[in-house]
Structure 1
Amino acid sequence: MKVDGAKICFGLTEELDRDSLVIFLQLAGRQELAQTLAARMSSEEIINFVDSFMDLLRQHLTEQEYHTLFLNENHPHHTPDQ
């Protein structure tokens, strides 16, 4: 399925915001865009972006979700107390 950037629209409804964010993140995750943007960002911009993004991940994902959804690990993650 092709991701259609023309379907992005924020600020009308929460459902549309969520759907638009999914498309936005899919577009942002493309390899060519990531390489181009990373090459043009300063170290400070990179650190600020990563810090902000990681804050969102910590707020909205469990540790297990972080490992499976973000890190794409296929095996269960074990915490030190297990």
Structure 2
Amino acid sequence: MAKHSHRFVETFDGFSGYGLDRTTDENTLQLYLQKFSDDRLMETILKRMTDEDIAEMFDIISKMLKKHLSEHEYHQLFLKEEAT
């Protein structure tokens, strides 16, 4: 069984846009991030990104993980490690 899921992008049929309200912003961000992480898109865009682009993206993601997840959540939710 796959550890990762991207069901939201496959089932969401609501309004997508940024700046209307918090719920729409959250839905839109989740939609964009799941679309952005698509394997074919990543294979294309990563080759075109500069070293600085890659470092900036990595830094942003790392910052969000550190800021909003406990160490346990990081291991469980991001790394998908089994509880020991």
| Fold in common (TM above 0.5) | yes
Distance 1:61 1:52, change over 3 A: same
Identity %: 32
- The unaligned stretches of length 5 or more in structure 1 are 78-82
Question: What RMSD, in angstroms, separates the aligned Cα atoms of the two structures?
Answer: 2.1
Partners of 2:32 and 2:13 in 1: CA distance: 7
Find out whether 1:36 has 2:44 as its counterpart: yes
Query: Larger Cα Rg: Structure 1 or Structure 2?
Result: 1
> What is the identity, as a one-letter code, of the residue corresponding to 1:13?
D
The offset of 1:47, in angstroms, is 0.8
Higher relative contact order, structure no. (Cα contacts within 8 Å, ≥ 6 residues apart): 2
Per the normalisation by structure 2, the TM-score is 0.76
Per the normalisation by structure 1, the TM-score is 0.77
Contact 1:10 1:20 in 2 (8 A): yes
SS at match of 1:47: helix
Q: How many residues align?
A: 76
Partner of 1:21: 29
